[in-house]
Chain A
Amino acid sequence: MIPFFTGVRVIAGLELRQRVRGVAWYVLVGLFGVVVLIVTGLLIWGFRALSGGYDSDPGGNAIFSTIVYLVLLLGTLVAPAFSGNAINGDREAGTLATTQVTLVSTPQLVIGKFVAAWISSLAFLAIAAPFLVVSLVIGGTTVGMVLVSLLVLAVELAVISAIGVGLSGLLRRPLFSVAVTYLVVAALSVGTLISFGLGTLVAQERYEYRSATYDYDDSTGNSECIVSDTTTEGTRPRPDYVWWLLAANPYVVMADAVPTRYGSGDAPSDLFGWIKLGVRSLQQPPDSSLVDDPCNYRSDRSPSPHEVIDRSVPSWFVGLAIHLALAALALVGAIRATRAPARRLAAGSRIA
């Protein structure tokens, strides 16, 4: 056996030199830089026009959130292409078996390939980082927000790379595993929204409530609240049962993880903060006081946005946990499927 990290480093180095780093890769990174540059330029220009020629907080914040989401979008679109054929592509090219007869172990092989795929998608993050600093200069963001967003982006790219490498070890045909990796990205980005919507529909519940009527007393001029004797049946959605589906959305994870600044009325003052508030308030069970005691219901008892966020479970934590579990599962699966000497082989596959 060779030391674990030596093996991983040699494999990752080979992978970066041979498979990932080609002309196409440089072209993609360059194109991405140009797109981010154009978007940033347009945003700065547009917000200056709106705010009468001054740099403004909303402008800086808009640039920040747009670039972060752009990197997340393009990163999750590009990472499957770099990782989705890492193992079965080598198998087809006949270079997997010649690596497997060396002293490098299967975990080293799979993890080395994952590291290489991750590093090559991190390049997109590196290109975008200076633009996030621009948003700091303009205002509307804090160093903490930029650092957290960079960290979450790096983790999300790692998750997609791990899923891609894992699927390339589990599935036989490179084209198929790349496609399935894209489907996983789509399932996380769009599928979570759809399934949350469907889940909320399914998770409706019937409930009984008493209505209240106000009896106006002419003599005193006061009205008295009377809870009616009969109960009425109604249905209400229970998103608090399925909110975790939404939490698994990488865009939600991002918005939720970035620290929120609060403005007037304890309301979030940026885009990510409002998304966070939306997702967090879905965790709240329906207000029972409205049902049980309609006469004593007071709207000012309902919590402020700041309170809602503080009282709820951090959904980025749940989302990242789901993502990391998927990534770990994919890598472990790939290691199991790639072990040599192989006992079972997928139909039609070859070793060398």
Chain B
Amino acid sequence: MSEGIQIEINNLNKHFGHLHVLKNINLSIPKGEFVALVGPSGCGKSTLLRSIAGLEKISSGDMSIAGEIVNHLPPRKRDIAMVFQSYALYPHMNVQDNLTYSLRIKGMKKKSANIEAAKVAKTIGLSELLQRYPRELSGGQRQRVAMGRAIIREPKAFLFDEPLSNLDASLRVHMRKEIRSLHDKLGATSVYVTHDQIEAMTMADQVVVLNEGEIVQQGSPLELYDSPVNKFVAGFIGSPAMNFIKGIVSSDGRSVELQFKVKQKISLKSVFTPGMTVDVGIRPEHLDINASQTNLKVAVNSMEATGSSTYYVADTEPALSFIEQGRSSIVDRENVNLYVAPEHVYLFDAKSGLAL
């Protein structure tokens, strides 16, 4: 057990009947860090979070929180707070009683618990709503109450289970910042589950990508963006998603031939095995339409202008998407010249999907 680690998971496995939903999970979360668990639905991220909370029993492996093995501790003894996707507020209690529930359970007098509630309500802007019932609150306000209920306890860790997915888009962006600044203010350790990679990228110190019950990669958001370990992470992180094209490394190993109907060659940053079949990954934002040089010619099939940038889809097989900042500068839609710098061309093994 190393110093400063708040949550440590060793060789965790979880079975639901015949289903092996978490496979050999190893994860250590330093104190004060904001960790996002991200992956497509069914990847096991929520199960992992619920295992940390103790709401799911783990089948094998060890889990410790603040240095104490918690494998067999029930949720109520783990001293962990969780914010649920549905908020799970107590509908028969007003905001004040919702906030003070954990304190009153611990035996704190109602009067002093209410003083704590007032403090917490002030930090998260709920002071006016203490006497309201959950049904009288908007989605964003309920979200705040759920947060308040978590922070009033000063727990060993905060767990978030897709807390923003029931909010509308603009509120979601706002709450993202608020949760993160709250985390910094409290110096808390947070584990945040989301299927939205943008949430993970913008909020977390560490992003853990899960797929089919396994940790595929973990690292800082930009590490994942810059050097994905495999095709799955490359495709999952970044929006719009990375383009993948079948390719064959040329005989000198310095370039790759993209297997479009009309084959095109682009150069690579280093030497690869000649003749190898690969998946070539290129992010839409790395296909430059206004560069002085060019190594790709395509015809544009469709375009969407958002004002700040323009999204294109090329008439290729598979369809290549790319972005231009600002308004469209294309004159001839049939002949568009693109350039992708060699350092932005990712190669993945065609069979294993691993980055080369």
A binds B: no
Interface residues of B (CB under 8 A from A): none
